Amino acid sequence: MTRTRTTTQRDDATPPAGLSDSSGQTALLLDRVASPADLKTFSDEDLKTLANEVRADMIRAVAGTGGHLGAGLGVVELSVAIHAVFDTPRDRLIWDVGHQAYPHKILTGRRDRMHTLRKGGGLSGFTKRSESEYDPFGAAHSSTSISAGLGMAVARDLAGGDNHVICVIGDGAMSAGMAYEAMNNAGDLNSRLIVILNDNEMSIAPPVGAMSRYLTRLVSSKPYIGVREAGKRLAEKLPPPLRHAAKRAEETARLALGHGTFFEEMGFYYIGPVDGHNLDHLLPILRNVKDSPHAGPILIHALTQKGKGYAPAETSADKMHGVRTFDVITGAQSKGKPGAPSYTKVFADQLVNQARRDPKIVGITAAMPSGTGMDIFGAAFPDRMFDVGIAEQHAVTFAAGLASEGFKPFCAIYSTFLQRGYDQVVHDVAIQNLPVRFALDRAGLVGADGQTHAGSFDIAYLGCLPNFTLMAAADEAELARMVATAAAHESGPIAFRFPRGEGTGVEIPENPEPLPIGKGRIVYESNTQPPTPNTQNRVAILSYGTRLAEALAAAELLALKNIPVTIADARFAKPLDEDLIRQLAAAHGTLITIEEGSVGGFGSFVLDFMNRENLLTQCRVHTMYLPDTFQDHDTPEKQYEQAALTARDIVTTSLRGAK
């Protein structure tokens, strides 16, 4: 959930700086950019103008499509400078996460398609290898850029190449352990690699004054680096006491100039901090680095500002990180139609209610407080909510430690992000049978965020683990009951999944009671009489999760065809309601399972049970699940149509089974 700041419409309706109307007589420099090679023809002053035009173009594009805004605004100058200095795509440029790559897309031949951003058949909201040769590595989960870049650099070295590899990683992404693992390996391998730390959060004072600018430029220069490398080689020939003294003296001198030694200890040549919005700083430093004789990894520390150059984003609490469509002049975002509360808010409110009664309940999230609703929990219980940063592995084991001491941790992580902590789920939670509660938001297909953020696999990857209990909410009332169930559950780990978006509008119980573990419910039985007294024409639909609404819609369509239908809500994938399945198999000729997950999930569990119980001889089974592909971004409605999981698809499957 994105918090927005709405400003008052200005009387003069003057566009913000950099957003003047482009329909006048003056041609834009951006109109002359078909590829990054065209930037080589521009002067440094031209590049400053170009950066302003890119910023304005990006704001206009995202205003019409929605998407990630603040991060891209913060790297406009970096994007222009990198493409002006380096020779992409021969030089590999990797954007960590990829949501900051909108300016990069504008400069790499995709400007005329920016109006399709995050729409079906249009541009991805992240970098994507199949979309452009300028996207050498797809990224939507964070903290992967240095690892991937190091792999590319080593591949270049093995092939005898001489191209550059540049990784742009944010300071938030640097909170993940994978980034440090990669840096440690890079320092050890000593391959030529350029990492740009896009720092818009760290409390490091920016460089001030002409002397600071001069010194930063100096330490990136070829003569300085050459002398420093020669000095290192000379120092290695000195006796140990003198060698250590020389190293300490050099580090002390660099620290006095405002340069830390942390990255140096990791094996990187450190340059910075640098003003990431000043091309007079960036261009000479990048040129120096490109021509540098330094053979190992280099880190450039660039200080930037999220939302830079667009006042509504600069003043917004979240810098307009992720936005709906919005008014360019005011920054006011379009409002959705008023409806039922989102599943995320229902979860958060119910967790707050449970925590008021139970002081042992604590909340954990991995850098997604608003996205998971944990900001609501944190506002109510600031001492009991822990945002651990982009560190899902740590979040899971941290929760396990809390559970081992008798607390009740609710680990709120998107289904797609929990994949990053799977080893910890297995070893630190499941094997030790610790009662960690996993609240899996964004279950199923997620629309505009596409294949990288779809919650497709958690049913399968958690269902194969001993000791786990798995639930899926069919609506917001069921979600409330599942929060209560998880709060009361003490015998082992438990997970419950729910989708992105609004609920169905059902009434939520004031004091939801915990569900009996492993028990589903029958929610609909048609009064239609079959043509013959036998059960073969009867169809049972066993739903796991929010496809229940589509199953009920399918029942209405099947009633028109005189096909009797029973619909059940499984509630649990593990343990299965075996009595319910036996009952459905005995009274129906066809049983259909449906879920918003991949093959190997709920339907597989049902099939395995029925096979073991020899129930398949009396009842045909059809399993409906997500296709064995990574689906591209589109609206959720379109995605479920493509996945053949709509009411009409259920009817088609039912008719096939009822024959």
> Hey, which residues are catalytic here?
306, 392, 420
CB count within 10 Å of CB 210 equals 7
* Residue ranges of E strands in 65-192: 67-68, 92-95, 165-170
> How far, rounded to the nearest angstrom, does the alpha carbon of residue 600 sit from its chain's CA centroid?
24
CB count within 10 Å of CB 365 equals 29
Instruction: Kindly list the strands in the beta sheet with 165-170, ordered across the sheet, starting from the edge strand earlier in the chain.
Output: 92-95, 165-170, 193-199, 297-303, 269-275
The DSSP output letter for 139 is B
Q: Which residue's structure tokens are 């939507």?
A: 140
Distance CA 69, CA 59 (A): 7
CA neighbor of 286 nearest in space, from 84, 90, 52: 84
Distance CA 621, CA 614 (A): 12
Q: Give the three-class secondary structure for 442.
A: coil
Burial class (CB in 10 A: 0-12, 13-18, 19+), 69: buried
End-to-end CA distance of the chain, in Å?
46
Distance CA 407, CA 401 (A): 9
CA neighbor of 577 nearest in space, from 615, 601, 605, 554: 605
> How far, rounded to the nearest angstrom, does the alpha carbon of residue 101 sit from its chain's CA centroid?
14
The three-state (H, E, C) secondary structure of 384-437, written as one string: HEEECCCCHHHHHHHHHHHHHCCCEEEEECCHHHHHHHHHHHHHHHHCCCCCCE
- In this structure, are residues 78 and 275 in contact, taking their beta carbons and an 8 Å threshold? no
Angle (CA) 244-245-248 rounded to 5° is 85
Distance CA 186, CA 296 (A): 8
Helical H segments across 546-577, by residue range: 548-559
The DSSP output letter for 474 is S
Q: Which residues does residue 569 pair with via DSSP β-bridges, in sequence order?
A: 521, 543
CA neighbor of 442 nearest in space, from 526, 494, 515, 498: 498
* Residue ranges of E strands in 153-253: 165-170, 193-199
CB count within 10 Å of CB 180 equals 14
Specify the DSSP element, H or E, that contains 356.
helix 343-357
CA neighbor of 201 nearest in space, from 61, 348, 302, 280: 302
Angstrom distances, CA of residue 218 to CA of 121, 196, 300, 304? 47, 18, 13, 21
